[in-house]
Amino acid sequence: MKPKRIVITGGPGSGKTVVIEHLEALGQTCMPEISRSVINEARKNGINQLFLTDPLLFSQKLLEGRLAQFKEGENYKGPHLFYDRGMPDVTAYMDFIGSHYTFDFEKPCFDHKYDIVFLMPAWEKIYITDNERYETFEQAQLIQNHLHDGYKKYGYEVIEVPFDTIENRAQFILNNTKHF
């Protein structure tokens, strides 16, 4: 039995990572977000903001990492496999900054499909910035719109997760995975 591949995405500071951490605490298997590791690796090499300095290189590294996660998921035997962001996030962020990219960035998004996509909306009440999250709340809302449109472009139905407690948001996701 192949697992249902479930993406949880959203703009910066939408609460997706804490919901994923809660799902893991409930025993769900989750593939982690890889952006922070790419950012930190670039900083070790003297590049403070690789996404702003070389968006194509940053995006290529993210796409490679997310494709590797997807392929790693082929060996998983459980009923659900959650992803903290998916491959279409890469082109959505590139669309957000107005960066041009080749079809090589889109091909994996068309060829390797997830089963369910949940979008965590921008939530001003919980939004904070840090060393890796430098966007304003208004930019986070724009990113959310690009994520929604980006996943739709690749043929996904996007399910928006309502504002609520971490526990209730995780339960909403679990409840809605039963329908697919």
Reported pTM: 0.90
Answer yes or no: is pLDDT of 130 > 90.
Answer: no
More confident residue, 160 or 47: 160
Mean pLDDT for the stretch of residues 24-29: 96
For residue 85, give the DSSP letter. S
Token pair recorded at residue 43: 């900083």
User: Within a 10 A sphere around the Cβ of 106, how many other Cβ atoms?
Assistant: 18
User: Cα separation of 92 and 149, whole Å?
Assistant: 8
Answer yes or no: is pLDDT of 154 > 90.
Answer: yes
At 135 the three-state DSSP class reads: coil
Per DSSP, the chain holds a count of helices (H) and strands (E) of: 8, 5
The widest CA-to-CA distance across the chain, in whole angstroms, is 47
pLDDT at site 167: 98
Answer yes or no: is pLDDT of 86 > 70.
Answer: yes
What are the strands, taking DSSP E only, across 11-141?
29-31, 80-84, 116-120
Q: Where are the domains of the chain?
A: 4-177
Q: How confident is the model at residue 168 (pLDDT cuts 50, 70, 90)?
A: very high
pLDDT tens-digit profile of 1-11? 788 999 999 98
What is the end-to-end Cα distance of the chain in Å, rounded? 14
Mean pLDDT for the stretch of residues 146-174: 97
Domain with residues 4-177, CATH architecture: 3-Layer(aba) Sandwich (3.40)
Mean pLDDT for the stretch of residues 100-118: 96
Nearest 5°: CA angle at 10, between 8 and 17?
60
Token pair recorded at residue 44: 């070790």
Answer yes or no: is pLDDT of 76 > 70.
Answer: yes
Q: What single letter denotes the amino acid at residue 176? A: N
pLDDT at site 125: 85
pLDDT at site 135: 76
Q: How confident is the model at residue 134 (pLDDT cuts 50, 70, 90)?
A: low
User: Cα separation of 8 and 119, whole Å?
Assistant: 6
